[in-house]
Structure 1
Amino acid sequence: MSISNAAVATIIQQHIPDAQVSISGDGYKYEADIVSAAFEGLNTLKRHQLVYAALNEAITAGQLHALTIRAKTPAEATS
């Protein structure tokens, strides 16, 4: 049982409200491009942990299996 791209984006936006989220995937492998001020001052690991925390329920339920994350601050997204 997989989860839709839109559902993945909604879950992330619920946990990181200012996030601009773009999800692509095939129901098994997903790619997430996320831009948020919440990533300011965080290294890559901490950014990914923030996203995984939002998606933990879907991951543990087996709805989301593989996720590639590109997490950027607004300044990084425009450079």
Structure 2
Amino acid sequence: MQEIERQTLDYSCGAAALAILLRLYFDHPVEEQDVLADIITRLPKPELADRIKHGFSMLDLKQGHHPGPCAAGRCPAGPHSSTLA
């Protein structure tokens, strides 16, 4: 449990979870702040205000431009994929 980190903002649980998944499961060095920065720079101000109030959607997380193993929306099978049946 040493690798697990607390989310830094009230509305960033999805970004924190995605960063942990990418870092620990796919060995892609990304932090919650990287995921948040990517989402925040793409959203118009009215949508950003809504996300801060209600949280980010799964679509926001999916549309992120995270370089690495899940680029282009396709995630390869990770090291533990045989145990996910």
Q: What interval of TM-score do these two structures reach, taking the shorter chain for normalisation?
A: 0.3 to 0.5
Between structure 1 and structure 2, the one with the greater Rg is 2
Higher percent of residues as helix:
2
TM-score by length of 2: 0.32
TM-score by length of 1: 0.33
